[in-house]
Chains A and B, each alone.
Chain A
Amino acid sequence: MSKAVTAILYAPGTNCHEETAAALERAGLRSELALLGDLLKGEIRLEPYQALVIPGGFSYGDHLGAGRIFAILLGARLRDQLTEFLDSGKPVLGICNGFQILAEAGILPYRRLGERAMALLANQSARFEDRRVRLLVSEQECLWTRDLAGQVLEMPSAHGEGRPLFCDSDSGASPRVVLKYSDENGAPTLHYPENPNGAPDAVAGITDETGLVLGLMPHPERASLAVHESQDGLKLFKNLARWLLA
């Protein structure tokens, strides 16, 4: 087991932190549940952690928009710590609500804290969608999907707001897509429900320019244990383990 410790950052309304810890443990990683309130009060700091995972749920009851309050608290009150964390090249993963938080905080797609360039809108169906999805891994450089390009990963997906909308970037940058919803032949698809939220270009997960940050709507931690129908999600956490142990 690695000495490096991964922080699983949670807040009121987060509800996937425990299974995320179980998935990290299965990948051979040590993790700690870090309560956002403890960080805000200065009782703990981000700096001792080697990686950060923001798990799924409905933080702060999705008030004012999914991930909004969490992201505001991160960006306004933990800006220095978070910038230092990101600048020191530590990996970050946002799953489902965690992805929504990274997007609302401006960390994805362009790693600009406080400058939003995307939104995760309500699903095309206007409903929460509990589905099992197939994700085609792209060639895009990303530590979380290293050596997985071309593979199709199966895992559960469960969310009401997961349809990405990107605004045009002045710098000409475009979002780096790592995972795409795909059909049973492994081809990216816009077809519902294989693409459960109507994501344009079938985008299910993106990384930043460093390849260290990954945000995805589906739930790799629910496809990580021996009792799960698929264990494809574990591959992402194993990639983190490989990176942290290297």
Chain B
Amino acid sequence: MAIYSVYVSSRDDAEAHHWLTFFRRHGYEDLKGLVIERVYWLEGNLRPERLLPLLANPVYQTTSSQSMLDPAQGPILEIAYRHAVTDPETPSILEAAHALGEDGLEFARLSKRYQFCGVTRQDALRIAERFLFNKVVERIREPHELVTTLRPTGEPDPVTTVSLAGLSDEELQALSAARSWYAPLSQMRVIQAHERRIGRPHTDAEIEILAQSWSDHCYHTTWKSLGLLKKLSEATARIAHPLVVSAFKDNAGGIEFYEDWVVTIKGETHNFPSSIAPFGGVATKHGGVIRDTLGFGKGAYPIGGTTIMGTLDPAMPENQVPEGALPPQLILSESIRATAYYMNPMGIPMMHAIYRRHPGYAKCLALGHSLGLIPRKYALKDQPRPGDALLLIGGETGRDGIHGATASSASMTQETLAKESAAVQIGHPITERRFTTAIPALRDRGCIRSITDLGAGGISCGAGEMGAETGVALNLDAVPLKDRSLTAWEILLSESQERMLIAVPPEKLDEAERLLDRYEVRHATIGRFTDSHRLEAAWRGQKVVDLKMSFLWGACPIDPIPMAAPKRELAPLRIPEPKTADEWFEAVHRVLRHYHCADQSAAGSRFDSTVQGRTVVGPYGGKNHRMPSGFYLSAPLRGKNYGVITTVAFNPLYGEIDPAGMAKLMIIEAITKAVVAGADYRELALCDNFYTPRVRPEVAWDLTRMVETIADFSKKIGVPFISGKDSSSGTFDSAGVSIEVPPTLAVMAFGRMPDVRRAVTKDFKRPGNKLLLVGHTDSHALSGSVYADSYGQRGDRLFDPGDGKSIRKLWDALVRVHREEGYVSASAIAEGGVFLPVFEAAYGSGWGAQIDLPRIMEDASTGTKSVVPFRNDGLLFGEFIGAALLEVPPGFDASRSFQGIPYVTLGNVTSESRITLIQEGKTIWQEEVSDLAEVWSKPFREVLE
């Protein structure tokens, strides 16, 4: 068959420009120019010129049958998909070619030629290998490679058996490591004993399945051993919240919305892949958590997402980056590109984009949430029945992501980067977008008995869990492959993205297939549910898996985890209090410049926040749409004013001081952010995402205290956790040193509001209005604050927000005053203390503020007056989690509205766009809001550039 190539060059190529800037930023300053040429490889009996309208727009593209690059200008590398792999673009090219009447085209491939000007071929290769392609699926084409066919070729390895009989403990451990199973000895011994019992060696597929299903990532062995999930779910059961529909048992959690709808939430971390291959890792983080929404009940529809990243300081010079870790600036910028790449085509609005740093995040935190909407009647799955078809929908299965679950459960070392990059999947949002449209249609026509996503663990985990109560028999020959060389265990374990499994009642299978065809979603019936209570799989005429479900899901040994109280090395803060105008200027700028407080819209503005037309309050608001809103508000039902509100609390600076205290603060912060916006905390639920170091006795202690604290506190305040995820592998081993993530808990609060028009935003509304600070304060509790961090200090004592009872009293008062329309703008105090929201509200409104530093703060709850002298900087920058900054009309009677609750009048809104600090009638510092905005808007942008 003839093979043709068509070369396309584009003028004004933004992609080439992006990479040129990026490579120069990452150590290749010698690179003077970069040109990208696309090559379309076409196989068949055809006239390629008939395809030119498809391959190029002549307004800005030029085509040729030969490369237009001049080799004298610099080394050229052509990156193509591997022979065994299908290009994602191939089906689009074939379909459009046939539309153009070119039926002779039988296969097509796309490759890209990069010309690097000003560097050597070795440098070009290094750049390409590091940034431009994924070796698992792509390769560099040799310049004069002989091509006989473009079609995928390759032969799989045969299935083998692996006998553990007679192996010593040392040999078992060595084998587990050599095969990348990462299974602890106790599991290897159970598998060894199982072999004796069944009287045959396991197949490679069976051991791979066991190692994977029992990994911490899939089986949550750490949490199970410590009994943590039980603690949380018991607390939620105890609260018995009337709005909770589904908690901790499905792919997401769900609460009642209005008019027989349910809203769902799920948060998922993808830390390991995002650390070794941030673009692929973060893209698939989004893909995966969105599929958790699609896999809730009988299929919910995603209506919002988040991206939350914790890295090392991106401003860190590359020579200080721990050996084996990627530079944090690279992780940050690639993660932003990946979020845009995945979320925008999905058509899911961005609710929160949050970037934080901590010296412990050598293995980064990559968290994403997905908010969903589903009719009440579809919110609970049915159990698959024997005879139901197991339908695999979405993308083809490839080699990507193999050993993702086991590798991400292991700790990360400097070798991991090279060894396990195959564990990172490749994401194609168009494939997921197709079934996102199709799933509600399938659901509404009764085609879905049960549905789940394929993530970690692939088909074996997904099918094994779905069929746990019945049994399931898989026909692996029916699985559509993008890589022809996959053997049975690889098909079973592959974590190729954009795939879901559906249990379809047999009488509905035809209709399901027709619907999927209509929406152009690839599908295959890859098995049947049985009554055998076994997981069975056949491949090429062989039975390659035959395991009892009771063994697969019941025999995993849970190693006991010893606990020991950690010794923390904490030192009290030593920060001089600013006195002079210059010192105040410096203090204010420290906070505004801080990574956690600075304007992050350079990232956030790359994500669509208004798609779906449901957004009422997006991530940025105010006059110029750059003011961080502090909450997201959606009106999911078109034509109705009902709202879903979401907020996030994530602060990596508190955990190392007091993990349990941090956990409580995160709950209070997330809820208060929603309450000040106008939500009633009694209509909220919570989602937890933990990230802790590889377990050791002290980590187990901290983790247990954190979970006990949030379980207990959720009961006290009556707000339940309904979904969550844990990752217990936040340790990076580099050059003999273990870098551990700080004990991390991100809390999302989400819930319903009867009328979105009643939401209160942060921006100031009217000069002359008063500013009130309501809630507990402690001007000496600066530990863990951004302000302390700006001095490189952490401190030894977290802010005490009070007990559940006093917090509820505060929330009750806020809810009541909101109902009375008592306040017109509001912020919850968090990073940056009182000062940051004052600045943001001024910036977002164009007005200013005058702050009178009170000399004495009245604690109305006790009627006592504080006798300890205040720290003025503590009053301004202390992070009084739970407290709220409210803008109220001049005549507002705080003593009546907030009776029995501590509050203080801080100052007022001014028509001059300036912030002024006054003490005892004297101005101690003032600055124009526009000048402050300049300081605030630079640091994050600069670190990206």
Contacts and interface: CB of A to CB of B under 8 A. Distances in A.
A122 B18 CA distance: 11
Given A38-B518, A72-B99, A76-B99, A64 B92 contact: yes
Contact of A65 (B57, B99, B612, B613): B57
Interface string A9-26: 000110110110011011
Given A61-B430, A72-B54, A73-B96, A128 B59 contact: no
A224 B639 CA distance: 11
Interface string B125-141: 00000000000000000
Contacts of B437: 12
A166 B797 CA distance: 63
Contacts of A68: 54, 57, 96
Interface string A167-203: 1000000000000000000000000010000000000
Given A130-B607, A165-B59, A61 B429 contact: yes
Interface in A105-137: 114, 116-119, 121-124, 126-132
A131 B624 CA distance: 10
A126 B14 contact: yes
A235 interface: no
Contacts of A76: 96, 99-101
Interface string A63-83: 111001100110111000000
Interface string B558-573: 0000000000000000
B59, B434, B635: most-surrounded residue (chain A CB, <10 A): B59
A227 interface: yes
B428 A158 contact: no
B58 A72 contact: no
A99 interface: no
Contact of A126 (B17, B60, B641): B17
Contacts of A238: none
Contact of B610 (A38, A58, A219, A226): A219
A225 B608 contact: no
A198 to B, nearest CB: 10
Contacts of A139: none
B203 to A, nearest CB: 37
Contacts of A72: 53-54, 96, 99-100
Interface in B11-63: 12-15, 17-18, 53-55, 57-60
A121 B60 contact: yes
Contacts of A123: 14
A131 B528 CA distance: 49
A224 B57 contact: no
Given A64-B89, A127-B606, A13 B18 contact: no
Interface string A210-233: 000000000101101111110000
A48 interface: no
Nearest to A36: B520
Contacts of B609: 130, 156, 158
A104 B57 contact: yes
B449 interface: no
A134 B695 CA distance: 54
B429 A58 contact: yes
A12 B434 contact: yes
Interface in B599-626: 604-616, 625
A94 interface: no
B341 to A, nearest CB: 9
B639 A129 contact: no
A60 interface: yes
A226 B88 CA distance: 40
A57 B347 contact: yes
A121 to B, nearest CB: 6
Contact of A160 (B344, B347, B350): B344
Contact of B344 (A38, A73, A122, A128): A128
A165 B60 contact: yes
Contact-residue size bin, chain A (C-beta under 8 Å from the other chain): 35 or more
B138 to A, nearest CB: 17
B340 interface: yes
Nearest to B521: A12
Interface string B93-114: 1011001110000000000000
A154 to B, nearest CB: 10
A166 B604 CA distance: 31
Contacts of B17: 126
A225 B96 contact: no
B90 to A, nearest CB: 9
B601 to A, nearest CB: 9
Contact of B520 (A12, A57, A116): A12
A86 interface: no
A38 B639 CA distance: 28
Nearest to B17: A126
Given A15-B346, A69-B95, A58 B430 contact: yes
A156 B615 CA distance: 11
A31 to B, nearest CB: 13
B752 interface: no
Contacts of A227: 614, 616, 635, 641, 756-757
A65 B101 CA distance: 20
Contacts of A4: none
Contact of B518 (A35, A60, A114, A156): A35
A129 B609 CA distance: 10
Given A57-B347, A128-B340, A156 B57 contact: no
A18 to B, nearest CB: 7
A15 to B, nearest CB: 3
A13 to B, nearest CB: 5
Interface in B51-81: 53-55, 57-60
B345 interface: yes
A128 B57 contact: no
A32 interface: no
A12 B346 contact: no
Contacts of B53: 72, 75, 114
B92 A61 contact: yes
B430 A128 contact: no
B179 interface: no
Given A126-B17, A160-B344, A226-B641, A22 B59 contact: no
Interface string B498-521: 000000000000000000001110
A169 to B, nearest CB: 11
B482 interface: no
A84 interface: no
Contacts of B96: 64, 68-69, 72-73, 76
Given A19-B613, A116-B57, A130-B610, A60 B430 contact: yes
A131 B613 contact: no
Contacts of A40: 99
Contact of A156 (B13, B15, B610, B638): B610
A62 interface: yes
A50 B670 CA distance: 49
B606 A60 contact: no
Interface in B423-439: 428-430, 433-434, 437
Interface of A: 12-13, 15-16, 18-19, 22-23, 25-26, 35, 37-38, 40, 56-58, 60-65, 68-69, 72-73, 75-77, 104, 114, 116-119, 121-124, 126-132, 156, 158, 160, 165-167, 193, 219, 221-222, 224-229
Interface of B: 12-15, 17-18, 53-55, 57-60, 88-89, 92-93, 95-96, 99-101, 340, 344-347, 350, 428-430, 433-434, 437, 518-520, 604-616, 625, 635, 638-639, 641, 756-757
Closest A-B pairs by Cβ, 3 of them: A15-B347, A19-B613, A61-B430
Given A12-B519, A72-B99, 11 more contacts: A13-B434, A61-B345, A61-B429, A64-B93, A117-B59, A130-B610, A131-B625, A158-B608, A225-B635, A225-B638, A227-B641
20 contacts: A12-B430, A26-B639, A56-B611, A58-B429, A61-B89, A64-B96, A72-B53, A72-B96, A72-B99, A76-B96, A121-B60, A128-B340, A128-B606, A130-B604, A158-B609, A165-B12, A224-B613, A227-B614, A227-B756, A228-B613
